[in-house]
A and B are shown apart, each in its own frame.
Chain A
């Protein structure tokens, strides 16, 4: 398993380099201009100067190599410096700067991480926690009213877009009832019970919207996987052995059904870091998703490039984690 992991990690390096090149090409060659959103009252000579100050008049391959050097060499040094108080990075080691904010992209990402993890991460956890029992019960009581309601709800959760459910919740719970804030306060800090309560209040709606969506997907998956296993002979064997129903379902069926579900859950984790672009916009959570979309709109190539590349790394990483988990969970799979 260890050599397998190492081998996979080594293969990942050229893969990721290739991905970074593709991302760079797509982001750079797409017709966009960081000065496009400026007021028209700013004359074109000034725009040209701005573009030049952003390094846009360098050839493409120079920009790509510069970015590579910044991402893989300068940024880690800066990170080590700030973590351990060293000074490995010299002042000429320019960090990757966002064109919009002119501040290091890494700082932006660090700044956005908490709210994204709080909201999107919680919603993922909540979604999974809801989805598993629903999927299990739905499968165990296939065609019961519980299953029918579960099917309906997950169909709704799956097909109704989050911008609709989000705005609906805002209109009902913020505008009509006034229970929850419609705009997420990213500066809020949890210090005591009261502020924790506020944090919960402002998280409820975005988390609910996203959790519904996640739960819909995962519960379907859980249900299907349970159904696959429930009709297997080994389940009958377990019953024939006279095992209690609880042991049959929770030990035999569930553990086997969890194998594919766990991998699906693991593969979904990178999307947490990717943020939920639409939901973040609707509730003004301003996490990584919003950072990405604003950067795209603003033609902010370094930010888009860095973010998408980090997402790519996460996806590759979690694919590996999913594979390893599969191997750990399923004795039939051995990677050596």
Chain B
């Protein structure tokens, strides 16, 4: 082990060596392919991952996450904390200090005004800013001098790193976007396609949903970087073609998010032109259990807390459903190396990861049967268990997607083995995830007994994510079916933990709270986690400096990329 590390270290130093002496633009061109094409360079107007990542070559936040999920200062001197005085003791303000001498690509200086402007831009009325959640509870942003930014919150913020942190909340140039506030935002096509940035590259040609060409930012803060003079960022096609272009034909240097069958990827890598890299974040494929009755007979009140579910309110049933699943097999079939079985809805970062639920990793059909037997669910004539005239018959919905339908079929099989009948349904993703309150098929309405999808959270702090399962987050007709608490889980104890976390600043204490919330959800079987899904990307053998980062944009360190000669 040690030897291997040592060798790898040596290799890294060797590989890094030429980069150290490189001068800006000396490595020519780098080609990046994203099989989903970015439609704008302004992440505030899109919110899509592809747009965030493309924009991250140009636009930068004050601080971001590195590959380990640790926050690193980016445009600032250091990360403000309570300890270093950057965060006020009452947790209601945070003070950022910009690095001196920062310049926009056009040569003008970066000032605290730009930072403040970015907040104003995203929170302006009528702009439809996709990242406005990052600026929740921001009461004011003050700019006492050119380099100092003070963010004041209306409530204590134990985790004050929402605004201006991560690829979702970068800094825009005030001068460029001043005329683009609110409803005028979409009209500023030039600004949205050619934003001034502080990042290593700057856009020279933007073709929405097709290709972006960038050149090295002449005013980038490190005079030796980036090593590449130009970037071609091609979008479109499919993951297979993207993987092929890096791993087999070598036309491209970096391909993003290769969600492909494990054997297909292995076959491509065998061509020897590139390397597959993977990393894990917080994305978990899970089954949500509906605590309310989705029966159409209930009319307007179906799937609301007015009507508890006839049998999923019985913890024995939920537990048996979870026990019957072979997560190992699902992972192998669906994701290969890009997935790992998980028993937590909060699988990372490391300090938040609970090990209290790991028993679920082993499938236990017999155990599941026993749980049901003990709870009085006895198999009927057709093998489906019944109790007090209630049959264990489920409607299982998910979005249309080959892997998900494979999972549904397997799970249906396992559930039938324990005497639970399952009807499968899949819904087009744009409808299922589309928030159209008129459609009965959205995942929020949850007009089914169980549903499967994947979700994660931005950055590393789980506070908002864990708050998804507060009672107040339950979607209902009163909230136009908005809200994130799909299981309609409601526990005072859980809500208390959420409230406590909202006021706790200490990181270890926060970790304990997050873990106990996770464990509560898991041990109540409100959510049945299946697979912790990683990110798989590929880079060519001649592209050096790539560090896969699942906590921020994958292109976060493109300034450090170089050509291996």
For A166, give the chain B residue with the smallest CB separation: B241
* Residue with the highest number of chain B CB atoms closer than 10 Å, among A170, A187, A297: A187
CB contact list, B239-254 vs A, under 8 A: 241, 244-245, 248-249, 251-252
Do A44 and B444 touch across chains, with their CB atoms under 8 A apart?
Answer: yes
Q: Does A102 contact B (CB under 8 A)?
A: yes
Within 8 A of B (CB), among A100-117: 100-104, 107-108, 111-112
CB-CB under 8 A for A49 and B128, given A41-B457, A187-B213, A281-B236: yes
Query: Which residue in A31, A44, A97 is a CB contact (below 8 Å) of B441?
Result: A31
Closest approach, in angstroms, between the C-beta of B146 and any C-beta of chain A? 31
**A43 contacts B209, C-beta separation under 8 Å:** no
A:116-151 near B, CB below 8 Å: none
CB distance from B538 to the nearest CB of A (A): 14
Q: Is the CB of B430 within 8 A of A297?
A: yes
Q: How far is the CB of A71 from chain B (nearest CB, A)?
A: 18
Q: Which of A32, A37, A51, A98 has the most chain B CB within a 10 Å cutoff? A: A37
Q: Is the CB of A291 within 8 A of B209?
A: yes
0/1 string, B267-284, CB within 8 A of A gives 1: 000010000000000000
Chain A residues within 8 Å of B563, by CB: none
Residues of A255-297 whose CB lies within 8 A of B? 281-282, 284, 286, 290-291, 294, 297
Residues on the A chain within 8 Å of B454, using CB: 40
A187 and B211: CB pair below 8 A? Answer: yes
Counting CB contacts under 8 A, is B393 at the interface?
Answer: no
Main secondary structure of the interface of B (DSSP, over half): loop
Instruction: Verify B133–A33 contact, CB threshold 8 A.
Output: no
A38's nearest neighbour on chain B, judged by CB, is B47
B295: Cβ under 8 A from any A Cβ: no
- Provided the pairs A41-B458, A47-B435, A284-B234 are in contact, do residues A104 and B207 lie with their beta carbons within 8 angstroms? no
Write out the residue numbers on chain B whose beta carbons fall within 8 Å of the beta carbon of A54. 128
CB of A198, distance to nearest CB on chain B (Å): 13
CB < 8 Å neighbour of B434 from A48, A185, A291, A299: A299
Instruction: Choose from B130, B207, B236, B249 the contact partner of A111 (Cβ within 8 Å).
Output: B207
With A39-B48, A182-B245, A182-B251 as contacts: A299 and B211 at CB distance below 8 Å: no
A42/B133 in contact, CB under 8 A: yes
Contact between A39 and B128 (Cβ–Cβ < 8 Å)? no
Q: Is the CB of A103 within 8 A of B208?
A: yes
**Residue from the list A33, A50, A170, A297 in contact with B436, Cβ < 8 A:** A33
A35-B435, A97-B186, A102-B186 in contact; A182/B430 too (CB < 8 A)? Answer: no
Q: Which of B39, B127, B236 contacts A290 (CB 8 A)?
A: B236
Residues of B within 8 A of A103 (CB): 40, 186, 189, 192-193, 208
Does any Cβ of A come within 8 Å of B232's Cβ?
yes
Q: Complex: how many Å from CA A135 to CA B236?
A: 37
Indicate whether A232 reaches chain B with its CB closer than 8 angstroms: no
Number of interface residues of B (CB under 8 A): 70
Check A286–B431 contact: CB distance below 8 A: no
Q: Mark A71-106 against chain B: 1 for CB-CB distance below 8 A, else 0.
A: 000000000000000000000001001101111100
Q: A38-B130, A53-B128, A178-B249 known; A186 and B210 CB under 8 Å?
A: yes
| A181 touches B (CB below 8 Å) | yes
Which listed residue, B39, B132, B234, B457, touches A183 by the CB 8 Å rule? B234
Q: Given B128, B133, B238, B245, which contacts A43 in the complex, CB threshold below 8 Å?
A: B133
Report the bound CA distance from A118 to B116 in whole Å. Answer: 47
Contacts of A233 on B, CB cut-off 8 Å?
none
Tell me if A175 and B244 are in contact (CB < 8 A). Answer: yes
The answer, yes or no, to whether B545 is at the interface (CB within 8 Å) is no
Contacts of A294 in B (CB 8 A): 37, 39, 209, 236
- A174 part of interface (Cβ distance < 8 Å): yes
Closest to B188 in A: A102
- Assuming the A-B contacts A170-B244, A182-B251, A187-B232, are A32 and B431 also in contact, with contact meaning beta carbons closer than 8 angstroms in the complex? yes
B59 close to A (CB within 8 Å)? no
Interface flags for A177-214 (1: CB within 8 Å of B; 0: not) read 01001110111000000000000000000000000000
- Please judge, given known A-B contacts A41-B458, A49-B129, A286-B236, whether A182 and B208 are in contact too, CB under 8 Å: no
Q: If A33-B431, A35-B434, A187-B232 touch, does A53 touch B47 (CB 8 Å cutoff)?
A: no
Residue of B207, B208, B465 with highest tally of chain A CB at under 10 A? B208
- Check A299 against B208 for contact (C-beta < 8 Å): no
Q: Are B209 and A183 in contact (CB under 8 A)?
A: no
A175: shortest Cβ distance to chain B, in Å? 5
The yes or no answer to B484 lying at the interface (CB within 8 A) is: yes
Q: Which residues of A contact B430 (CB under 8 A)?
A: 31-33, 36-37, 297, 299
A183–B245 CB distance below 8 A: yes
Q: Tell me if A247 is interfacial: C-beta within 8 Å of chain B.
A: no
C-alpha spacing A95/B168, complex, angstroms:
28
Residues in B whose Cβ lies below 8 Å from that of A32: 430-431, 434, 436
Q: Tell yes or no: A45 within 8 A of B by CB.
A: yes
- Chain A residues within 8 Å of B432, by CB: 36
Q: Which B residues touch A50, using CB under 8 A?
A: 47, 128, 130
Give chain A residues whose Cβ lies under 8 Å from the Cβ of B208. 98, 100-101, 103, 108, 111
> In whole Å, how far is B542's beta carbon from the nearest beta carbon of chain A?
16
Contact A40 B211 (CB under 8 A): no
What is the 8 Å Cβ interface bit string for chain A, positions 206-237, against chain B (1 contact, 0 not)? 00000000000000000000000000000000
Q: Does A10 belong to the interface (CB within 8 Å)?
A: no
Q: Are A39 and B33 closer than 8 Å at their CB atoms?
A: no
Q: Evaluate contact between A48 and B482: CB separation under 8 angstroms.
A: yes
Which A residues are CB-close (under 8 A) to B249? 174-175, 178, 181-182
Answer whether residue A46 sits at the interface, using C-beta atoms and an 8 A cutoff. yes
Q: Which chain B positions have C-beta within 8 A of A101?
A: 39-40, 192, 208-209
The reply to whether the CB of B483 lies closer than 8 angstroms to some CB of chain A is yes
| Chain B CB within 8 A of A22 CB | no
The answer for the CA separation of A207 and B251 in the assembled complex, in Å, is 20
Bound-state Cα–Cα, A261 to B490, Å:
69
Contact, CB under 8 Å: B248 / A175: yes
Query: B211 near A186 (CB under 8 angstroms)?
Result: yes
Assess whether A52 is interfacial by the CB under 8 Å rule.
yes
B367 in the interface (beta carbon within 8 A) = no
Which A residues lie within 8 Å of B236 (CB)? Answer: 281, 284, 286, 290, 294
Closest 8 CB pairs of A and B: A33-B434, A53-B128, A36-B434, A102-B186, A44-B482, A101-B208, A286-B210, A100-B39
Given contacts A31-B430, A100-B208, A294-B236, 11 further A-B contacts (CB under 8 A): A31-B428, A31-B431, A31-B441, A37-B433, A39-B456, A45-B482, A49-B129, A100-B40, A101-B208, A102-B186, A183-B252
25 contacts between A and B (CB under 8 A): A31-B431, A32-B430, A35-B434, A36-B433, A38-B46, A38-B48, A42-B47, A43-B133, A44-B482, A45-B133, A45-B482, A49-B129, A50-B128, A50-B130, A97-B187, A101-B192, A183-B241, A183-B245, A186-B207, A186-B210, A286-B211, A286-B235, A290-B209, A294-B37, A297-B430
- Please report A residues at the B interface, Cβ cutoff 8 Å: 31-33, 35-54, 94, 97-98, 100-104, 107-108, 111-112, 170, 174-175, 178, 181-183, 185-187, 281-282, 284, 286, 290-291, 294, 297-299
